[in-house]
Amino acid sequence: MRIAFIVRHFPVLSQTFILNQITGLIDRHHEVDIYPLEGIPPKNLEKVHPDVEKYQLLERTYPLPEISSNYAVRWLNGIKLFAVNFSKNPGVVWRSLNVFKYGTSAATFWLLHVALPTLDKEPYDIIHCQFGDLGLRGISFRDICFPSAKLVTTFRGFDISLYLREHGDRVYETLFKQGDFFMTNCDYFKRELIRIGCDPNRLAVVRSGLEPRDFTFSPPRPPADGKIRIATTGRLSEKKGIEYAIRAVAQLLPAYPNLTFQIIGDGPLKAKLKHLIDELRVKDSVQLLGWKTQPEIQEILANIHLFMAPSVTAADGDCDAPINVLKEAMAMGLPVISTYHGGIPELVRDGISGYLVPERDTQGLAEKIKFLIEHPELWFQLGQAGRREVENNYNINPLNDRLLDIYHQAFNGPPTAQSPQLSSLIAVQNE
């Protein structure tokens, strides 16, 4: 099959869940092209996942051409682009300028810019939009550039939480009518999509997976020197809840002065978190490490004893599905502490494969850290259960097979409740 991935940016170091689908499809001998509708983030190019180079994915990536914010300049450039490119694909160029259908997006040549990288492309079978808001853009992308393609959209987090709060529960009505199939990465978001009107017969849960073999199972042992090392990784934003983890560690330091906490990532709260660390006088024990590559992250995790993912629902409503870094830590056999948040309880079984506390519960986090410090005999058992959870439910290989099943289902016709293929998909996702 020929598949176009619609993404916001590419490559993005933190979005291995998208990368794993792309490489899995390529490994299965399908053609995949990538269209970042908001360009390639230059600051991330110095740190990219090894698979971006291994699969030469930048050669498959067609970013949106630069568009001037000055409408007069954009008009002049648009006229020139029309003259130069019309003969390459008259149908696509004309459709991109249909102001009666697309309004301002067509009149300001924005859609022409979107269409330019596609003018010499063979038709795609599937257009897969990663995140619901990009599915809305994918409607015009499909209709203008590849009308015969099937439109598939995956909802992953903010698009079914924050985005709904900002735009209302009816924001996806057009997408639900014109899209061919929909996916989400956890049962929590599936229920929310059905609530706002998504047809359950065209909706499946396809969890974000990883390759377990890429993560060496090596549960930590009690350190001979008594130094307990904890880590977390993720964007430094409100919904990651890192503030509460810092406060929990600070609370424990008087009793456990050899405790260290490493925070991997960057983001808008970096300055605030640095100020908190200074205010609590824990800078010798709590470190902000910045962004790291995938191999660097694995090296850090291989030398820690506990992993925390203290996610919270942000003030704007943004929340998480089961986050990939938590799966990676569990695949390596680390005892994990997280929160009753979004889809995370689908991944971490409290008391079995890790521990969960309520959101923003600094005391609860501190108590679980203390419990694990005092009971290292449980580390292996928790790590083993975490690894088993990842292998059984988040292995990228069967998940990518299921992704292809959904593509074929979408491509071969509208699904019905009686469809054998759809019934098997629903049975698998509910196991």
Q: Which residue type does 412 have?
A: N
Domain of residue 157: give its range. 2-205
Residues 364 and 270 in one domain: yes
pLDDT of residue 387: 97
User: Coil, strand or helix: which one is 232?
Assistant: strand
Residue 321: the pLDDT is 85
Same-domain status, 273 and 227: yes
Q: What is the pLDDT of residues 140-173, one digit of tens each?
A: 999 999 999 999 999 999 999 999 999 999 999 9
Asked if 168 and 149 count as a contact pair (C-beta separation under 8 A), the reply is no
**265 DSSP 8-state letter:** B
Residues 271 and 360 in one domain: yes
Residues 357, 267 share a domain: yes
Question: Is residue 139 domain-shared with residue 180, that is, in the same domain?
Answer: yes
Q: Tell me: pLDDT of 389 over 70.
A: yes
Q: What single string gives the DSSP state of each residue in 201-247?
A: GGEEE----B-GGGS--------TT---EEEEES-SSGGG-HHHHHH
Cβ count within 10 A of residue 421:
14
My answer on whether 147 and 278 are in the same domain is no
In this prediction, residue 256 carries a pLDDT of 95
Mean pLDDT to the nearest integer, 247-268? 96
Cα 406–chain centre separation:
19
- 273 with 354, same domain: the answer is yes
SS3 152: strand
Per residue in 3-23, pLDDT (tens digit) is 999 999 998 877 888 999 999
Q: Residue 262 in contact with residue 304, Cβ under 8 Å?
A: yes
Domain identity same for 15 and 133: yes
Q: Which of 170, 205, 240 is the last residue of a domain?
A: 205
Claim to verify: residue 260 and residue 388 sit in the same structural domain:
yes
Q: Residue 393 CA to chain centroid, in angstroms? A: 17
Within-domain flag for 367 = yes
State phi, psi for 401 to the nearest 5 degrees: -60, -40
Structural domains counted in the chain: 2
Same domain, 218 and 189: no
DSSP, collapsed to helix, strand or coil, labels residue 429 as helix
Whether 400 is covered by a domain: the verdict is no
Torsion of the alpha carbons at 87, 10, 273 and 295, rounded to the nearest 10: -160
- Is residue 246 one of the residues assigned to a domain? yes
Average pLDDT over residues 171-178: 96
Whether the predicted model's global pTM rises above the 0.85 cut: yes
Residue 199 has pLDDT above 80, yes or no: yes
Determine the pLDDT at residue 43.
55
Q: Rg of the chain over CA atoms, in angstroms?
A: 23
Both 200 and 294 in a single domain? no
User: Is residue 358 a contact partner of residue 308, using CB atoms and an 8 Å limit?
Assistant: no
Residue 344 in any domain: the answer is yes
For residues 297-316, average pLDDT: 94
Question: Are both 97 and 46 inside the same structural domain?
Answer: yes
Contact 80, 128 (CB under 8 A): no
Q: Is the pLDDT score of 64 beyond 50? A: yes
The domain that holds 315 is classified in CATH as: 3.40.50.2000
Is 171 within the bounds of a domain?
Answer: yes
- 203-232: average pLDDT: 93
What pLDDT was estimated at residue 242? Answer: 97
Give pLDDT tens digits for 317-373: 888 888 889 999 999 999 999 999 999 999 999 999 999 999 999 999 999 999 999
Query: Is 96 part of any domain?
Result: yes
pLDDT of 392 over the 90 cut:
yes
Mean pLDDT of the chain: 91
| Domain-terminating residue out of 205, 238, 262 | 205
* Last-in-domain residue among 149, 178, 205: 205
Tell me whether residue 430 is in a domain.
no
**How far apart (Å, rounded) are the C-alpha atoms in residues 284 and 279?**
12
More confident residue, 104 or 45: 104
Q: What is the pLDDT at residue 46?
A: 56
CA distance 135 to 203: 14
Terminal Cα distance for the chain, rounded: 28
Let me know if residue 126 belongs to a domain.
yes
Average pLDDT over residues 115-139: 95
Q: At a CB cut-off of 8 Å and minimum separation 6, what does 221 contact? A: 376, 379
Q: Which range is least confidently modeled, 195-199, 399-403, 412-416?
A: 412-416
424 pLDDT exceeds 80? no
User: What tokens does 171 get?
Assistant: 């924001």
